[in-house]
Amino acid sequence: MWFRRDLRLLDLPMLLAASDDATAAVALFVLDDALLGPSGEPRRRFLFECLRALDDDLGGRLLVVRGDPVVEVPAVVAEFDAVSVHVSADHGPYGARRDTAVAEALGAAVPLIRSGSPYAVSPGRIVKSDGTPYRVFTPFRRAWLDHGWRAPADTGADTVAWADPDGTRSRVPIPSVEGLDGPPLPRAGEAAALRRWREFRDDELAGYADGRDRPDLDATSRLSPYLKFGCIHPRTVLRDIADRTDAGATTLRSELAWRDFYADVLHHRPDTARGNVDHRFDELVHDSGPDADRAFEAWAQGRTGFPIVDAGMRQLLAEGWMHNRVRMIVASFLTKDLHLPWWRGARHFMRHLVDGDLASNQHGWQWTAGCGTDAAPYFRVFNPTVQGEKFDPAGDYVRRWVPELRGVEAGRVHRLPDGPPPGYPAPIVDHAHERRVALDRYARIR
């Protein structure tokens, strides 16, 4: 049982497949430097804590090894004389290549059996009538809803008997997070994920449709780190709201559809992890040089002089997380006010986000930058001041994260009509001017 992005025991289809295949199973996790290296510190720390929680749920019987899975998985198979390897399917660019290589290394005698995936509907399942993938979200969502999804798998810790890995030659301890710097993170593991989901479902979901765009209200689910590592499966969420037709439940279903959509786009277009979905944007002019680098650093540190942008960037550094509406605002500012490439901002996010997910992060950035899965991107240039006034009307979110502005009255915190207070920078650009520059650059590639 090779765990990856499925660090739970409930609703885990590969457990059912394994229970039909053998009398006992080895629970394995491979610390793969190809994935750990690019991960930021918050995500690594959260992963290690999730592994510790899973190990506890397994009674200390999680076997952790470190190295290349193409080498380590066959080695564990040989040591335990295993007859098969069970996984949840991975549809990402690296994961798909890795699994193909591991299957070849195992050979025909020991099959790599894929059951389920981290998504409600696995990438590649939903296609148009002509067999081609969807490129626009709204028709994908309709097809996704029509397709539906399986009921949660009836599994738990006792679905299979777990082998004791004590004495395994390659076993390493789960890395400790003691003494590591970084922001405080959510409580890790399956129990914490289920607890958070039930709190949100019972107490907050009813107001989700209206509140989710308000960063000052803390009205989002905060499930994204748990979905990233599979501490909870989206099927569990969808089952619990299956009979609900209220706006909150409808909106949450739509957000889960976005997650599946972006995974589907990346599955069909693995090149979009680093490159533009719309290749016309390959010709778009970006700023570069020392001035552009200074602008990027001001953005990254939350020192742009635009309060809602700075609040979001400081929340990212302080929490390893950022409100989704604010993610769009800061991404628009980087790409359309500072004229910097989306992938530069996407890398910064992946370095700091505890929920950093390649498909959702890269394609969320491309949606905002205008080069992604969108039919009419050219005039979506967020005005950061107007966005702040609309979604943080009293300035509570800004004052929470930008202490220099805590003395500014609610109605003045986004525009600062009297100028920036001591210690807070003046705006580094003129938004109206940079909007015209952005639209002019887009016009040249249309």
The pLDDT confidence band at residue 444, using thresholds 50, 70 and 90, is very high
Q: 47, 110, 99: which is closest to 69 by C-alpha?
A: 99
Q: Which amino acid is at 286?
A: H
DSSP three-state, residue 424: coil
CA dihedral 346, 348, 349, 350 (to 10 degrees): 90
| CB-count exposure of residue 347 (10 Å: 0-12, 13-18, 19+) | middle
In DSSP terms, 162 is beta-bridged to 25
In 10 A of CB 119, how many CB atoms? 24
In 10 A of CB 142, how many CB atoms? 13
439 backbone φψ class: left, alpha, beta (φ>0; ψ -120 to 50): alpha
Domains along the chain with CATH numbers = 2-117 (3.40.50.620), 120-152+190-268 (1.25.40.80), 279-445 (1.10.579.10)
* Measured CA angle at 322 (ends 245, 223), to 5 deg: 45
The pLDDT confidence band at residue 162, using thresholds 50, 70 and 90, is very high
d(CA 193, CA 7): 11
CA–chain centroid gap for 333, Å, is 21
d(CA 142, CA 203): 28
Q: What is the predicted pLDDT for the residue at 80?
A: 95
Instruction: Name the percent of the chain lying above pLDDT 70.
Output: 99
Q: 101, 45, 93: which is closest to 74 by C-alpha?
A: 101
Residue 439, both tokens: 């639209």
Residue with token string 């004389």: 81
The pLDDT of residue 10 is above 90 = yes
d(CA 439, CA 377): 10
- pTM here is 0.96
The pLDDT of residue 378 is above 70 = no
pLDDT, one tens digit per residue, over 326-348 is 999 999 999 999 999 999 999 99
Average pLDDT for 300-313:
98
Q: Do residues 110 and 85 make contact, with C-beta atoms less than 8 angstroms apart? A: yes
Q: What is the predicted pLDDT for the residue at 377?
A: 65
pLDDT, one tens digit per residue, over 193-246 is 999 999 999 999 999 999 999 999 989 999 999 999 999 999 999 999 999 999
Q: Do residues 413 and 407 make contact, with C-beta atoms less than 8 angstroms apart? A: no
DSSP three-state, residue 162: strand
